[in-house]
Structure 1
Amino acid sequence: MQTNFDRRRHPVRMDLAAKSYEGQVAADRFVEGEKYRVSADRLEFRPQPRQDISIDTEGLFGEKITVYEQTPEGWAWGQLETDGYVGWFSSDAIQKAEKPTHRVTALRTFLYPAPELKMPPLSLLSIGSLVSVAGEAETRGLQYAVLADGSAIVAKHLVPLGHTDADWVASAEALLGTPYLWGGRSSLGLDCSALVQLAAQTGGILLPRDSDMQEAEAGTEIPFDNVSSLIRGDLLFWKGHVGIITAPNQLLHANGHTMTVAYEELDKAVARIAATEWGAITKARRLG
């Protein structure tokens, strides 16, 4: 039996595991899991069912989750379909919902109780959130997408699920100034690998969540001995960190130095990071 499953990617515990792992791992019981969607603006995932520890990542409104356990204390344990991340989260922030048809492409957009921008909004949704559009409406010349429950979103802030942008790096650049948040995965706050993941998604490129996963799996490995040869969209990795090349000698990254998504001259960033716990560059990769 295999015993070295990464807890972030495999719904496997000693007492409980997903049914699909039966025969691969020893567990007290195996369950199929139930399908839900995130009903909160953002859903925090934690490694344990405790509020006093840092988050691993976030699920976004409308994303699908397979739930394997719910506790009387209001916790649930499950796996996010978007990137396969496993963790503990609030069971109050999930619900059964319609299959999404559209993705939020604006950095942020309000969900209104009706197609009327003067009404108090219900939610503030981040880029990457998913919604199911049931109809259309127009109010004073502004087009809205209407959801099944009658709530509405400004239509130009959405794209169909299959839509892709030719320049995904531009989506990363649009997040310039976004606060750095460890484990954050929204336009209200995000970390280095979430910046890469959310932006790449707009170009139809699905990436794993954390920087070590991206370093091992994203695109194709390329040489980095001469950083001046790197081109727009190349990813540069350090131990526990990733940034995006946007132009010659220019790095865009969500970082704890400025505590924002920021540009930094690449040569200066390399020297600065080398003097920290993150050390030297470890890898470069190019997305296809």
Structure 2
Amino acid sequence: MDRRLTPYSGRVAHVSLSGVVEAPLTEGLQAQVIVPLANLRASPGGARDRQLLLGDAVTVIDRDKGHVFLISAKDGYCGWTAESDLGQGPAPTHWVAVPGTHLYTEPQVQAPEKAALSLGSRLAMIGSWGAWANTPHGYVPIRHLRPLGEWADDPVTVAEGLLGTPYLWGGNSRMGVDCSGLVQLAMQACGKACPGDSDMQMALGRNLPSNEAMKRGDLIFWKGHVALVVDKDRLIHANGHTMSVAYEGIRESVARISAGGGGLVLARQRM
């Protein structure tokens, strides 16, 4: 079983694993992320696998000394995060539809900011004050939000809005993102389900025949890496070469990755 997708902490398992593992079972407790970013780790305080954003829904399965083991509702990813990163609140109604924004203490431009929020963060809009949305966490410019269900049209355009974002292993936000995190952000901003890691993403698409030209929005996969096709000549990806989200020529990237020991292209796919 893939630990990333298996809701079993090693001590307690979700009821969906009944008959699969010998462990106490639980339906879990529903919660949501209440901080701008929460690291999802392989073990309590361990290495980061992915990140969760403000408003992401989770199911808590187990607790251990200030950490909780959970299932992420948006992609089924399982792991540990700090218990203080989770809480309760009204169901989100809107999502951050721009690369980044801020939470403010008051509904005015001059007010102190409370936190930076990334594209994809989710908020409950409980009222408005002029051009400002009132949320349980603070005020956000309404023009930076869209109602849930009102999605973007083109994953590549979404990814292009993140050009220059610094590369971060396991990152899922405007503050730092890796290759699969960029693809997931872009796809989910368009209302498309998308898992968190590149090997999982590669299992979803339709493989393109060698004689079929790639088009905007197609994905190119290497072992441990994924990029979005921009046009017939270019791709966009979060990469360790530039340590950022950047454009790169398709031919150039294929040659560079191969020369650097990253192997050949494993798949060309259309989601």
Gaps of 5+ in 1: none
Q: Render the CA deviation track for 1:180-239: whole Å, top value 9, x for unaligned.
A: 00000001100000101101112221111100000011x32212x358x21111100000
Bigger shift: 187-196 or 62-71? 62-71
Q: Match for 2:37: what amino acid?
A: R
Distance 1:222 1:200 in 2: 19
Distance 1:108 1:247 in 2: 26
Q: 1:271 aligns with which of 224, 234, 255?
A: 255
Structure 1 counterpart SS, 2:126: strand
Q: Render the CA deviation track for 1:29-79: whole Å, top value 9, x for unaligned.
A: 1112111110111000110112xx4310000001011111122x2111111
- Whether 1:118 aligns to 2:94 is no
Structure 2 counterpart SS, 1:8: helix
Q: Which residue of 2 aligns with 1:257?
A: 241
Distance 1:99 1:207 in 2: 21
Misfit runs of 4+, over 4 Å: none
Q: Render the CA deviation track for 1:10-38: whole Å, top value 9, x for unaligned.
A: 112442101221122222x1112111110
Q: Which residue of 2 aligns with 1:37?
A: 32
Query: Are the equivalent residues in 1 in contact too, given 2:9–2:61 (CA < 8 A)?
Result: no
Q: 1:222 aligns with which of 186, 203, 208?
A: 208
Q: Cα RMSD (Å) of the superposition? A: 1.4
TM-score normalised according to structure 1 size: 0.91
Query: Are the equivalent residues in 2 in contact too, given 1:14–1:26 (CA < 8 A)?
Result: no
Structure 1 counterpart SS, 2:251: helix
Deviation at 1:117, TM superposition (A): 2.4
Distance 1:56 1:237 in 2: 19
Q: Which residue of 1 aligns with 2:48?
A: 55
- Whether 1:68 aligns to 2:68 is no
- Whether 1:176 aligns to 2:169 is no
Structure 2 counterpart SS, 1:172: helix
**1:135-150 to 2 correspondences below 5 Å:** 135-138=127-130, 143-148=131-136
Structure 2 counterpart SS, 1:68: strand
Q: Render the CA deviation track for 1:232-259: whole Å, top value 9, x for unaligned.
A: 1110000000001101210111001111
Q: Which residue of 1 aligns with 2:22?
A: 26
Distance 2:267 2:239 in 1: 18
**1:145-156 to 2 correspondences below 5 Å:** 145-148=133-136, 151-156=138-143
Percent of aligned pairs with the same residue?
A: 41
Structure 1 counterpart SS, 2:255: helix
Number of aligned residue pairs: give it.
271
Bigger shift: 11-20 or 261-270? 11-20
Gaps of 5+ in 2: none
TM-score normalised according to structure 2 size: 0.96
Q: 1:209 aligns with which of 186, 189, 196?
A: 196
Q: Which residue of 1 aligns with 2:75?
A: 83
Bigger shift: 113-122 or 241-250? 113-122
Q: Match for 1:284: what amino acid?
A: R
Q: Which residue of 1 aligns with 2:92?
A: 100
Distance 2:61 2:261 in 1: 37
Deviation at 1:284, TM superposition (A): 1.1
Q: Which residue of 2 aligns with 1:186?
A: 173
